[in-house]
Structure formats: structure tokens, C-alpha cells
Amino acid sequence: MERLSDNVFIHTVITHGYSVNCAVVMGSERIFVFDTLDSPEAMAPVTELLRSEADGRRIMVINSHHHWDHVYGNAAFPQCDIVAHRLCGRLIDAQVKTHSEKIPLPPQEGVMPPNIAFGDRLTFTDDTVTVHLLHAPGHSEDSIVAWIDPLSLLLAGDTVEWPFPSFAQRDASEIYPHTLRQLNQLPVNLVVPGHGPVMGKEIIDRNLDYIEGLYDVVRTAKDSRIARADLTLPVEAFAPDGIDIDEVYKRAHQDNVEWAFDEI
């Protein structure tokens, strides 16, 4: 568990070869747990922290979006409210019922669905922090981010990812860049991505560069009638300069290339 500031903690696990982040923000009246990782067991360090630090404060879980590696730990918080975008509950349900080899089986305890849902924006304020939950479609249609004021902190879920985001929402080639441009307007200094290290605000621009660069090149390739199977676009040409890309992200990039090809 990393302590980012007096009242913000980051808990990271490695699952399926990549890191996933959960953030804990402690306000004067409520404690917010942003994402529950891939299982209730993975959340044990967080529930332990809350046992000693909650001090009667209400614990609220936030699901950044429905993907399994962000919600499968929901059952670690049986007495708590779970907040998410209004599409999230239905998408969790569909995901649990999907028999895809890309999606691990849900935990034995099941996946508790969100019980507080919103559309565009939901704000919680107490004496020390204001948590603005904002709909941020692009990675998935139910993606939300949490802008924490006055800490200048953005909990981004998979809307922002390092070294680059992954595409999982249909018809989002314009929506995703639009969302990132809007996030760029927020007065934040630090960004906690769903995957990858805590970074400065420049991570938003790097993600935008990747998405727009990739769509541009795929569009040109498709115009010249290259077949999908013949499209090889080296990840180094799109990822941020000087970054070592591991096998997991090389595959993620190839998935993005194919996704973009099908979208155009």
C-alpha cells in the first residue's frame, strides 16, 4: 500500500501480467474506495487499513467501470454502498454471464452490483474533500473518473492508462478523444490510472496522442485497402517515446489496431 498523501492511499496488485490500481480517499465523514480489483482477497490490505482507520466513517465503494479487474472484489464490502454509472450494473451482470476465455470466472462470493447509480455527474462533499464523479466514456460506455478537490487528483480508471489505453467501447473513436480533452481542462496535478504508475497530468496527452495517432494511421491503411490481417503497426511508433513495451502491452496494442480497423 502506497501512501500518496495524508488521506490518499494506493493499493496495487499484479493480475494476468499487468498492474491494477485501487485508490482509497479518506474524507472527514466518508472513505471512498475507488475500484475493487480482481477478487475480494486482493482487497484484504484495504479492508485491513479500513478496520484500523475508518473510525466510524461511512465507506463508499466506487466502480470506475464494469470490467472484471475493477469490480470482482466488490464482495469484500458487504455492508457498503457501491456507486457507479447507471450502465455499470447491467454490464457487470452481462460480463458475469459471458463465457469468454478472456474473462476469468467471478469469485465464489459473487460480484455485488452497484446500488447507487448516476448519469453524468455525482458529487460528495464533506469538510476535507469533494469527490466529483464524472461520466467519461471512451474506454467503456460506463467509464467514470473521480476528480478529488482540493487535492488536484484524478482517479482515472481505465479512461487513462499507462503506457496507452485499450479500446473496449464501440463507436468511440471520437468520444474517447473528446473525453480526454475534457479531463485535460480539470485542475489536476496527479493522475492515478487504472493500470500503471501514478503520474502527472501529461499522461492524458500521451493517451490522446496514442488514440489519435493510431486511428489516423489505421484510417490511411484502410483507405489504401490493406487487409486487416496484413496490418502490422509496431507499437513503438505509437506508444510514448523511450518506453519498454512488454508482451502484455504488445498484445493490447495489436488488439487496439484490430479494434480501430473494425471501427473505421
Residues that bind Zn ion (CB under 5 A): 67, 158
Min dist CB 52 to Zn ion, Å, is: 31
Please give the Cα distance from 248 to 176 (Å, whole number): 22
Nearest alpha-carbon partner for 95 in 38, 165, 146: 38
If the CB atoms of residues 27 and 193 are measured against Zn ion, the closer one turns out to be 193
In the complex, least distance from residue 21 CB atom to Zn ion, rounded to whole angstroms:
12
Q: Which is nearer to Zn ion, 124 or 167 (CB)?
A: 167
CB of 67 to Zn ion, least distance (A): 3
Nearer of residues 50 and 84 to Zn ion, judged by Cβ = 84
The residue behind cell 473521480 is 146
Could you give the residue ranges of the DSSP H alpha helices within the chain? 44-53, 68-71, 88-97, 175-184, 202-223, 247-263
By the 10 Å C-beta count (0-12 exposed, 13-18 middle, 19+ buried), 97 is classed as exposed
Q: How far is the CB of 66 from Zn ion (least distance, A)?
A: 8
Distance CA 179, CA 208 (A): 10
Q: Which is nearer to Zn ion, 141 or 158 (CB)?
A: 158
Residue from 142, 134, 123, 7 nearest 65 by CA: 142
Q: How far is the CB of 140 from Zn ion (least distance, A)?
A: 6
11 or 70, CB closer to Zn ion? Answer: 70
Give the containing element (helix H, strand E) for 172: none
Question: Per the structure block, which three cell numbers stand in for 254?
Answer: 495489436
Measured between alpha carbons, how far apart are the two ends of the chain, in Å?
42
Closer CB to Zn ion, 46 or 88, in the complex: 88
Beta-carbon contacts of 100 under 8 Å, excluding residues fewer than 6 positions away, are none
Identify which of residues 15 and 130 has a Cβ nearer to Zn ion in the complex: 15
CB of 256 to Zn ion, least distance (A): 13
**Least spacing, CB of residue 168 vs Zn ion, in Å:** 6
CA distance 112 to 128: 29
Element (H, E) at 132: strand 130-135
